Amino acid sequence: MRRPVELATYTAHAFTQLCRQLGVRQSMGRVGSCFDNAAAEAFFSSLEWEVLARHQFEKTHQAQAVVLDWCYGFYNHHRRHSTIGMMSPISYENTAAPNREAA
């Protein structure tokens, strides 16, 4: 029986080979680079910890409503983020580029 590390190595190699066959270029940034997905991982970790783990949903639309309310009502307007000087995303955007027009 294979150990998990060997299986992971085999799977990674098989995936890499498949990407090459399909002409897909894999990308992997270094930690701390602008291509690092730490911000996205932090967002989803917060979503899971602060919202999903604390609610029971019977219907999809209930979950959608709670997640949207958390994203737009709390996360973007009130939750402070260490990477932007303990400001909310909206406050940061308004401070960093107050005269910038919407794209």
Is 90 domain-assigned?
yes
Displacement of CA 46 from its chain's centroid (Å): 9
Q: pLDDT value at position 95?
A: 86
Is 92 domain-assigned?
yes
Percent of the chain surpassing pLDDT 70? 73
Is 1 domain-assigned?
no
* Banded model confidence at residue 62, pLDDT cuts 50, 70, 90: very high
Question: 0.75 cut: is pTM over it?
Answer: no
Is 79 domain-assigned?
yes
Is 94 domain-assigned?
yes
Q: pLDDT value at position 69?
A: 94
Range with lowest mean pLDDT among 25-29, 47-51, 85-89: 25-29
Is 96 domain-assigned?
yes
Q: Which domain holds residue 102?
A: 65-103
Domain count across the chain: 1
Is 102 domain-assigned?
yes
The tokens describing 21, both together, are 């066959």
State how far the alpha carbon of 46 is from the alpha carbons of 4, 14, 40, 94, in Å.
29, 33, 10, 23
